[in-house]
Structure 1
Amino acid sequence: MSQFDKIQAREAGLHKKLTARQMSMIAIGGAIGTGLFLGSKFAISFAGPAVIVSYAIGGVIALLLMACLAEMTIAHPTSGSFGAYAEHYISPLAGFLVRYSYWSCIVLAVGTEVTAVAEYMKMWFPDVASWWWIVGFSAALIGVNAYSVKAFGSVEYWFSSVKVFAILAFILLAVIVLFGQHGISDGMKNLTAHEGFAPNGFWGIWVGVIISIFSYLSIEMIAVAAGEAENPEESVRKAFRATVYRLVIFYLLSLSLIVMLVPWTALVAKGASSPFITVMQELGIPFADGILNFIVIIAALSAMNSMLYISTRMMFSLSRAGDAPKMFGKIKANGVPMNALILSASGIAVASIVYGINPEAAFPVMISLSMFGAMLTWGMIFVTHFFFRRQIEKEGRVLSFRVPGFPVGTILGAVLMLAIMLTTYMTDVFKSTLLFGLPFTIALVGLYYVLRRKPQAPETLTQAEQEQV
């Protein structure tokens, strides 16, 4: 048994119930969220119509990441995913940092999502206290994740379907108007009017790339879900292919239509809401605010559902690696690591409470740590892939799925992620990302060496232990 076979063996016990169809929808659903519907306005304010270029660059990074993950995941499908790969191909410390930084960033991020849902619900129910929605939606999604991985996959499939249908409907309407009522010539004029295509030059485009990366975050969850797929190789292949063309359609096409239909200055004007709402109002769509509010709520609930799932699996993997208490590695008879789910849900509750008590003070810290953890994880995936391929070539192993062009794409992705992370310090908006993230990483390194003073051998739990909670 190889060393990685031992890692897969210690993470055994989860049920393989996710279908290829669910995996494909989960992959694209993770990348379509509030970052597209709401965050795109923020990117447009920096880049102007050149936001198309910003999201294209971010899309290249996302697709390079997906390619690296697909190659490693098909070779080693396991719920520990990129954390397990970093542990095996770089070092146990690298695996520890990736797993804990990713787990903490997801827990903090979902805390902001659930509070955002409560704010969106006020549009229809202004007199209902926010905590009712926070408790209600959290309980429902925790229940879904606690029931079975199949239930998670089904709910996430339908959440993602709603988002995909909404984007396709928007694109169809926008194309009809652009080539009919407005005329393509008017659309082309909007791309260069109002201080030109890139009003803030290359810097504005590059800051837009940072925002685009936040929009694409969560596509990496497909690698975690592969550990519970019925046929990991087929599922990951299909998910990778689907993501390639869907990202182009959903992001680049929709954003291109937005900046062609409405001058970018109107999209970011004071009082303007989501660019999608602004365009729908321009098109004369009745109840545009309510339609998009519903879609954004679905997007946020989808994010919550996915984040509960992947944070639970990361904590499960940490426990099985001996880097978290053994109780979080136990599995119920239905294949759910219930203790890890409870811990992740508790973290979400804490984040929600902190945010609810003092959002002005809590939000910058929570978002900064969340962004840093996510960017660190993406960067480490590229680094891990480099070590992975070097080891594979050294051993002379043949991969059933192989990304062409190595090591160019891998090195390019790592360099771009490093550049993006360093750029955050040079902006007023994202400056706190490194200020909070670096001390947090140093603290994790310290925790690793404290825990390793008393070596504990990772082990695969017996079936009796897995069912004990």
Structure 2
Amino acid sequence: MTSEAQFSSIAQREGDLARRLTQPQLTMIAIGSAIGTGLFLGSGAAIQIAGPSVVISYAIGAFVALLLMGCLGEMVVAHPTTGSFGAYAEHYLGPWMGFLVRYAYWISVVLVIGAEVTAVSVYMEYWFPQSPAWVWIVLFSGLIILVNASSVNIFGSAEYWFAIVKVVAIVAFIAIGTITVIDAPAQSQIGFGNYFRNEGFFPKGFGGTWFGVVIAIFSFIGIEFIAVAAGEAKEPKRAARQAFKSAFFRLMFFYIVTIALMVCIVPWQKAGTGESPFVLVMRLIGIPYGASVMNFVVLTAALSAMNAQLYVATRMIFSLSRGGQAPAFLGTLTRGGVPLRALMFSTFGVAFAGLCSVTFPHGSFLLVMSIAMFGALFAWFMIFVTHYRFRRAAERDGVVLSFRMWGFPLMTIVGGALMFAVLATTLLLPQFRMTLVTGIPMLFVLSLCYPFVKRRTFAADVARELA
């Protein structure tokens, strides 16, 4: 039996979800989930760490994301299923790795939801500076939970329009920023001179540029959501193929151009995480109400990313449940085809964010982001490892792939090596030291739990066979 035929048993156990997402919605889910707090707020931290060379940092991050999209695109077109890269790891690397990838990623995403909602409270402080953060966390979390509790086509429509707002805003920002840079007086503080004044292009050295790559990678995290959403697309193989191609190149343009313009307009020393650099740019340019409009846009972006993250976290724990690696009640569906119990179980990141916002009111965003990063970075690394085994299995079985990653095996190995280097680098950054400090013990604890889960799954399989 071929590897592709053997995979069908994994896909069948997740096949109850309704296939209602369209290709445009799938594309916008990929774009919307990747254009969120990482770009609108996290880019400020990247600029502060790397200086003007942050443009190189994001170019390296974009290259890694390109390789990841190629690897993941191949596997998704061959095996569209909700468990996506977790299911691929289970099949090509073994049940233990599938267990680790799914749980580590699920934990990461629910914590990133906390980072997004923490960012929402930062944005709301622009209009309501004296308001407590927990009020906005509770209010907007309830709204996003309500959207996800509806049918998947309502979620898809909401995410589509969320993403449209962000795309229109970024295009407008690029247009306004370009005009501002071109029309700036020669002696002003705006222009390409910002790349070389104030300690030069590499004010923190090449080390600072590489440290900026860590945040750049975090900014791109979310593009893999398309692999999960493809499991609920109307025509999954065709929709995934088109969505991967169109989403990636739009994201590359948006990220690189907007970061380049930010450095032209805002001296790098002024960047940080206390205020979105997009809002800072609008304020410095002096466009009437521009800062308020942009603050609304970045608020929408955070809500959009949070919406997509809750969707993905729900589907990941649903996949674990259907595989016998999470409580069975998390694998049930409502009449509308929504895994509501898995949804509610995936909201603890909101509670964690609320606790952090009270305990660390001025550093909660970076704290939550650093802890949340490990599972996503680990998943990205494992996608490259899984893809290597996937291609070897396809070559062995003589499978003709309709969507192929160029440069295999070299590019797959390069992508995996770069992701391993990024993971190791987090230990050198004070802001992200908690990534490995909490992530490695988490993998150890999950590995200790796996034998008990495996025995439970085996017993359930035997009971079904005897029934």
Which interval holds the TM-score relative to the shorter structure? over 0.9
Q: Tell me the amino acid that sits aligned with residue 58 of structure 1.
A: G
CA RMSD of aligned residues (A): 2.3
1:282, distance to aligned residue in structure 2 (A): 2.9
Is the CA contact (8 Å cut-off) linking 2:426 and 2:435 kept in structure 1?
A: yes
Judged with a 3 Å threshold, the aligned counterparts in structure 2 of structure 1 residues 419 and 449 are, in CA distance, closer, same or farther, namely same
Q: State the match for 2:310 in structure 1.
A: 308
In structure 2, stretches of 5+ residues that fail to align are: none
Partners of 2:48 and 2:364 in 1: how far apart?
Answer: 25
Partners of 2:425 and 2:145 in 1: how far apart?
Answer: 36
Q: Tell me the amino acid that sits aligned with residue 302 of structure 1.
A: S
Please point out which of 211, 221, 224 is paired with 1:220.
224
1:115, distance to aligned residue in structure 2 (A): 3.4
* 3-state SS of 2:456 partner: coil
1:365, distance to aligned residue in structure 2 (A): 6.1
Q: How do residues 1-12 of structure 1 correspond to structure 2 at under 5 angstroms?
A: 2-12=5-15
Q: Tell me the amino acid that sits aligned with residue 267 of structure 2.
A: P
Q: Tell me the amino acid that sits aligned with residue 31 of structure 2.
A: I
Q: How do residues 224-263 of structure 1 correspond to structure 2 at under 5 angstroms?
A: 224-263=228-267
1:87 is aligned to 2:94? no
Q: State the match for 2:174 in structure 1.
A: 171
* 3-state SS of 1:51 partner: helix
Is the CA contact (8 Å cut-off) linking 1:32 and 1:299 kept in structure 2?
A: yes
Q: Tell me the amino acid that sits aligned with residue 295 of structure 1.
A: V
Is the CA contact (8 Å cut-off) linking 2:33 and 2:309 kept in structure 1?
A: no
Deviations 1:401-423 (A, max 9, x none): 11121011111110001001111
Partners of 1:438 and 1:72 in 2: how far apart?
Answer: 27
1:183, distance to aligned residue in structure 2 (A): 6.6
Q: State the match for 2:269 in structure 1.
A: 265
Q: Percent identity?
A: 50
Q: How many residues align?
A: 457
Q: State the match for 2:158 in structure 1.
A: 155
Q: State the match for 1:121 in structure 2.
A: 124
Please point out which of 46, 50, 65 is paired with 1:47.
50
1:432 is aligned to 2:434? yes
Q: State the match for 1:140 in structure 2.
A: 143
* 3-state SS of 2:440 partner: helix
Judged with a 3 Å threshold, the aligned counterparts in structure 2 of structure 1 residues 242 and 182 are, in CA distance, closer, same or farther, namely farther
Is the CA contact (8 Å cut-off) linking 2:58 and 2:212 kept in structure 1?
A: yes
TM-score, normalised to structure 1, is 0.92
1:128, distance to aligned residue in structure 2 (A): 5.2
Is the CA contact (8 Å cut-off) linking 2:59 and 2:256 kept in structure 1?
A: yes
Deviations 1:420-452 (A, max 9, x none): 111111222222211111111100000111222
Moved more, 228-237 or 433-442: 228-237
Moved more, 217-226 or 189-198: 189-198
1:149, distance to aligned residue in structure 2 (A): 0.5
Q: Tell me the amino acid that sits aligned with residue 354 of structure 1.
A: L
Is the CA contact (8 Å cut-off) linking 2:45 and 2:271 kept in structure 1?
A: no
Q: State the match for 1:200 in structure 2.
A: 204
Judged with a 3 Å threshold, the aligned counterparts in structure 2 of structure 1 residues 29 and 458 are, in CA distance, closer, same or farther, namely farther
TM-score, normalised to structure 2, is 0.92
Q: Tell me the amino acid that sits aligned with residue 298 of structure 1.
A: T
1:178, distance to aligned residue in structure 2 (A): 2.1
1:353, distance to aligned residue in structure 2 (A): 4.1
Is the CA contact (8 Å cut-off) linking 1:111 and 1:351 kept in structure 2?
A: yes
1:90, distance to aligned residue in structure 2 (A): 0.5
1:453, distance to aligned residue in structure 2 (A): 3.1
Q: State the match for 1:325 in structure 2.
A: 327
* 3-state SS of 2:430 partner: coil
Q: State the match for 2:40 in structure 1.
A: 37
Is the CA contact (8 Å cut-off) linking 2:19 and 2:234 kept in structure 1?
A: yes
1:143, distance to aligned residue in structure 2 (A): 1.6
Judged with a 3 Å threshold, the aligned counterparts in structure 2 of structure 1 residues 179 and 99 are, in CA distance, closer, same or farther, namely same
Partners of 1:353 and 1:157 in 2: how far apart?
Answer: 28
1:350 is aligned to 2:351? yes
In structure 1, stretches of 5+ residues that fail to align are: 463-469
* 3-state SS of 1:16 partner: coil
Judged with a 3 Å threshold, the aligned counterparts in structure 2 of structure 1 residues 431 and 136 are, in CA distance, closer, same or farther, namely closer
Q: How do residues 315-464 of structure 1 correspond to structure 2 at under 5 angstroms?
A: 315-345=317-347, 347-359=348-360, 366-456=368-458
1:339, distance to aligned residue in structure 2 (A): 1.3
1:134, distance to aligned residue in structure 2 (A): 2.6
Q: State the match for 2:103 in structure 1.
A: 100
Q: Tell me the amino acid that sits aligned with residue 10 of structure 2.
A: I
Is the CA contact (8 Å cut-off) linking 1:73 and 1:81 kept in structure 2?
A: yes
